[in-house]
Structure formats: C-alpha cells, structure tokens
A and B are shown apart, each in its own frame.
Chain A
Amino acid sequence: MSDNTTSLSASRTITRRQFTTAAAAGALVTTTGLPLRPARAATPLKLGVLLPRSGHLALIGQACQRGAEIGLPMLKDMGYSVELMNADTESNPDVGRTQAEKLIREGANMLMGAFDSATTLAIAGVAEQKGVPFVVNIAAEPKLTEQGFKYTFRNFPSAGMLGKGGLLLYKDMFAATGVTPKTAVLLHINDSFGMAMLGGINALMPKLDMPFTIVETIAYDPKARDLSIEVSKAKAAKADFVMTVTRLNDAILLVREMVKQQVETMGITSPGSPGMYDKQFVKALGKYAEYCSVNIPWFDPKQEMAKTLEKTFEKAFPEESFDLNVGFTFEAVLIAADAHKRAGSNDPQALTEALRATNLAKRAMIGGPIKFEANGQNMNLRSAVVQNLGGKPTVVLPTESSEAKLVFPMPAFKGRT
C-alpha cells in the first residue's frame, strides 16, 4: 500500500522543464483557440432515463430500458461518456413528473424518455420549468413539438407523421408489386391509441387520395378474450385486404381466428401499430405469422450501427424482440451523448444548444441524418414496410433499405408449409 502511494506521489512530481513545456502548450491553445482534439466533456453526462418499467406499460418500458443499456459499451467505444440515472414512471404521468424533478434534484444534466405521450408531456413541462434539456425517445403526441417547448427534442414521428407515413407506404407497396386492391376492412383496438389512429386514417384517406376504400371498420377491446365475431364480420365484408391497428395479444388472436375461419385475403397489414413484428407473435403463430406486414419506423439494415446493435442485442437478450422501442431509445441516448461531447460541458444551456445543432448521419433507424427543426422535431424520420419473412421482421420498403422483396398478395393460409 505504501509502495503504491509512493509511486503515485512520484508520478505526480513535475520537473521545471515539464512545467515550462506544458505551460507553453497551454498558452498556445489558449491564444490560438486551436483544439488539439475534439471537444470532450470533463465529466460524464448524467442522463436521467424515465421509462414506464412497471404498471400497464411495463413490457414496453422494459424493452426501452434494454435499448438504453444495450448500446452503452458501443457508445463508450465511440468516445462518448454517459451515465444513466434510471427512474420508473410506473406508467403514470404524475409519477413521471415527480421522478423528473427528483432526477434533476439529484444532478441529472439531461432527461430522456418516456414512451407514453401523457407522461412525456408532463416531463416536458418539468424540463421547461427547470431549464433542463429533454430528449424524447418515443411519444407521438403532436403537442410535444407544437407547444413551443425550448428544451424538448423528439427523435420520433408525431401521430400525424406516423399516420401519413404509414398510409403513403401503401401506395409504394402497390407500385412495387403492381397489384392494387380496391377495398379494405379495418380492424382496430378501441383504446386511446387505436381511436387516434382511426381518426388519423379517416382524415388522411381522402386527402392522400388512396387507391382503395375501407368498406368496414370494426372496433374491439384490446383486452378481448375472443375475436371470433370480429373476424366473422370482417370475413363477411369480403374486402380485398385486411388493415389492422393492434397491440400484441389481440394481434395473435386476430390472425389465429382468421386462419380458423379460413379468411383468405391479399394481405394483413398495419399502417403503424405494434404486435405483428413482435417475436412472440411469430412464435405463437409460426407459419401463419409470415407475410403479415407493418408500416412503421424501423432499423436500417444497411447501417453498420444497426447491425452491431442487433448482434449485441441478440447475444444479450435472445428471447426478446429487437424492435423500434429498443432502436429509438438507443438513438435517444446516442443523441444525448453526442450533444454532451460537442458541448464539452454539463451545463444545461450548452447541452441544449448542442442538441439544437445535432447532425448525426450515423444512426440505427431508417431516415436521413438526425437533425432537429426549430420546434425540436427530428426532420428526417421515415417509416418502412416491415414484413415477417422467414420468421423475422424484414425491411421490404423503402428499396434503398430493403433486405428482401415485398410479398403481396400473400400466399393463402391453406397449404402453407
């Protein structure tokens, strides 16, 4: 022990010559302003991570948490320095607000979260009040970037962008395959998300001049135990293809019931909802999960960062889904760490300015470089058509990011092997 102390002491001894050299170098940097290397903050960024890790959104909150943690070694290798301060919002906006205040009190330099729109709005209010920057991983509420918040930055599409992007992709799907269906039946959950999606679809369909009409709209409870009647009704509509707005369990019930009732359709597609890309969906339905597709923001399989992240994730969590919750939360940490590195400081104002100047070309999700508009919205986000092929959600559109060709119309359930 004493040897170590001595050695440490000896290493700290500075000779007159060393002092003169260091002083000269310091003076040079100070007077010329030339950086000897890229700006690097002295202390790690303390990032307050607010996610619904318990309560009714626990499954998704935990998926997001995995996204926040899985990329840390990768970020370290890239020269970023970030420490996570984790807090559970308990799927409750009031708890989210309190936890955000607590994290700031405990020294968080920046906040990140919070998956559900109501909690994210509550946290954005706290961030604004305290002058602490806030990066939104996932939340589609338009108000987040329309309310004039100065400290909130969102790397996720707003509900309008999500709906529009999802619907426009149908035109690309039909153009890519040369098959244009004329009618669709829409099956959707009747919770706030499902009703918001329905409102968006109904409003956008005429504006976007979609080539098909929705002949029947069937709402159901996302907690429904049995969807046989809903599927019977959808079958009776005799539409060319099926559009769905689901969560996970009801998506499984829906497709299983379609198989049983021998509903043969050109496609089972979603304009942007969870469920059909989930690992559990594929596991539960096997060959019948094939060809179901979702139009949603997704990983860019052509980006090196996405490939590395996927490998790391699959190794750490082989049973879990590598999905957009993981991807957008990883990117939120990346954005925060990058701003911290460029700011060279933990000062909230400097961090906010650095966030505003973000320009990250190397990213994991599909879209151009991450850049924020004046209102804090990432301007380069894009949805993709993700289709289950070979038991894996696969990007089939846009072409520049695609890993395989879209299969539409899908093969009949009967006779699948």
Chain B
Amino acid sequence: MDATFFMNVISAGLLTGLVYGLMALGLSVIFGVMRVVNFAHGDMMVVAMYAAFLLFTKLGIEPVPALPLVAGGLFVVGYLLQRFLINHFLEVTEHIQFLLLLSVAMIITNVVLMVFGPDARNIQLDASFESYSLGGLVLDKVRVIAAFTAGGVALLLWAFFRYTTTGTAIRACADNPVGARVVGLDVEKLYAITFGIGTACVGAAGCLLLLLVDVHPHLSSDYTLLGFIIVILGGLGSLGGALLGGILVGLSEALSGVLIAPSLKSMFSFGLLILVLLLRPQGILGKKP
C-alpha cells in the first residue's frame, strides 16, 4: 500500500464525512436551540431521499438542483410539526419527548414502507460512474459534488445565524429563552423556524446522500444513530462541531477499514465516541454545561 493509496482513502473519508456533517447539522441546530433530541432525524432524511428520488424519476430533476425544493418542503414539514405537535411537549420531561419523537419516527418508517415497499431504490446519473483523476488520486465525482454542496449549505447556515435578524433572534432564544420573551421575541415562532431549519438541513443532506447511497425504509435507524455519534463527538449544539464530527467519523471509518478490517469500521466510530465521552464529555467543540 503506497502513499497514493492512503491519499485516496483519506480523500474518500473526508468527502463522505462532510455529507455526514451536513446530516448531523440539523440535529445539532434543533438541540442547540430547543434542547429537543430529534429521534425522527434519520426518518426525516429517508423521506427527503424518497422525495429526491421521486423528483428525479418523475420529473427528471437531479438531486442537486432538487435540493432547494426538498429542503423547502422539509422546512414546512418541520415548522408545522413543531408548531402543532412538539411545541406542546417542550416543558415535559425528556423521556416523554423521546417517546413522542420515537413514535413520529415509527409512523414515518411504516408509512414509507407502505408507500414505497421494502426494496432499495437508487438513481443513475451520468456522474454516478465518473471520477476525477489527479495524478494517482481518484476522486469520485458524485462524492465531490455532494461534499462541496454540503460545505456550501453549512456556510449558508452559518451566515444565516451570524448575519440575519432572525438568526440572531434564534441565538438569543438558545442563550436565554426567558430573556428572549422579556424583550418581546415570539419564541414559539422562532422555535418552529428552528425546527424547520433543522429538518431543511436533513432534507438537503438526504438529497446529497441519494447520490451516494441506495434508499430503503429501514435506512433511517442507521442514520439516526450515526447522527447522534457525530453530534456527540463534535459537541451537541455546535454547528462547527457537527461538521468536525462528520469528518472525524468519515475519516475513522475509512482508515480503520484499510488498516484493520472493513467489516470493523463502524466499531471505530463507537470507539471514538467512547473516547470523547471519557475525555471531553461535552464534545470536541461543545461548551461545558
């Protein structure tokens, strides 16, 4: 195994990690502002993947151009879900919230199963079989597209929270909900917008993941778990942490697959998680409670 081989493996891990990071961003945003752990996270992503699949097969819209449509659709779903359901459970104990969102997850999985059946679905683009060659480095074209789009979406999200009035108001709610109410902010509406933004991120990630992974209804639990590993690694509530966590998981999977055994690569993500929990329980970029 030469240096080029390792460069290929590391680049593949980095690119996949960025998409993982985007997926986990939604989870981190929702938790960071509302302190709600979205157990239906993976299921919402599967819905987004099926939406992107339908847009491609029925209307011929490829996943990257379809991204604003799917993310917009998921924003509306998330907004309404928070406004009419989750909002009623914000003050209850955490385990009730868990059960509520687990129920939502089970309903979504079974509805998707009823509508689409258990078969895996994929889309074929011209780019699906193409790669860029840079010297000895071979970069998968769809992975490059997905990673750069993920980076762009993450940048937009950061700019939204940093430079817009709504973004600033949401950050104010996250820092001090009581203070936000005192200064006259509509906290319920801001929470609904936040949940919508979180699900929109998941929608965007779903579109991009469809380029890399075949979709089937039972994919959701895998991605919910992966999302949790990433945000705990990076730090719950931290946007940069989610991206960093994604990249770390992508890299650890890639390198452990090569150096140890591919069938053990998931074990290393969990190993990394345990290590971070032992040494820095708040996550790499998380703030101490």
Contact = CB atoms under 8 A, between A and B. Distances in A.
The answer to whether A and B interact is yes
Interface stretch (B37-45, B148-156, B174-182, B259-267): B259-267
Contacts of B219: 225
Nearest to B218: A223
Contacts of A58: 118
Nearest to A190: B263
A252 B214 contact: yes
Interface string A241-265: 0000000110011001001111000
Interface stretch (A69-77, A200-208, A229-237): A229-237
Interface string A282-303: 0010101000000000000000
Q: Which of B1, B120, B263 has the most CB of A within 10 A?
A: B263
Contacts of B133: 262
Interface string B120-135: 1010100011110100
A228 B257 CA distance: 10
Nearest to B213: A225
Contacts of A361: none
Interface stretch (B4-12, B161-169, B194-202): B4-12
A221 interface: yes
B124 A261 contact: no
A246 to B, nearest CB: 13
Interface in A200-227: 218-221, 223-227
A385 B132 CA distance: 35
B91 interface: no
Q: Which of B9, B131, B222, B262 has the most CB of A within 10 A?
A: B262
B213 A233 contact: no
A290 to B, nearest CB: 13
Contacts of A225: 212-213, 219, 222
Interface in B48-83: none
A29 interface: no
Given A218-B262, A225-B222, A229-B12, A236 B5 contact: yes
B257 A261 contact: no
A260 B129 contact: yes
Given A232-B258, A233-B257, A260-B131, A221 B213 contact: no
A221 B263 contact: yes
Contact of A59 (B16, B119, B122): B119
Contacts of B5: 232, 236
A284 B1 contact: no
A288 B129 contact: yes
Contacts of B254: 228-229
A164 B110 CA distance: 42
Contacts of B130: 260
- A interface SS class: helix
B131 A233 contact: no
Interface residues of A, number: 32
B144 to A, nearest CB: 11
Contact of B213 (A219, A226, A236): A226
Given A226-B213, A260-B130, A219 B263 contact: yes
Contacts of A249: 120, 214
Nearest to B139: A260
B25 to A, nearest CB: 19
Nearest to A287: B129
Contacts of B16: 226, 228
A280 B128 CA distance: 16
B124 A232 contact: no
Given A225-B213, A252-B214, A230 B124 contact: no
B85 to A, nearest CB: 30
A233 B265 CA distance: 13
Per CB-CB distance, the 6 closest pairs between chain A and chain B, nearest first, are A229-B257, A259-B129, A219-B263, A230-B262, A260-B131, A228-B12
Given A59-B119, A225-B213, 10 more contacts: A225-B222, A228-B254, A229-B12, A229-B253, A232-B12, A232-B258, A236-B5, A256-B128, A262-B133, A288-B129
Interface of B: 1, 5, 8-9, 12, 16, 118-120, 122, 124, 128-131, 133, 138, 140-141, 212-214, 219, 222, 253-254, 257-258, 261-263, 265-266
30 contacts: A58-B118, A59-B119, A219-B261, A219-B262, A219-B263, A220-B262, A221-B263, A221-B266, A223-B222, A225-B213, A225-B219, A226-B16, A226-B212, A228-B12, A228-B16, A228-B140, A228-B254, A229-B12, A229-B265, A230-B257, A232-B12, A233-B258, A233-B262, A236-B5, A260-B130, A260-B138, A261-B8, A284-B122, A286-B124, A413-B129
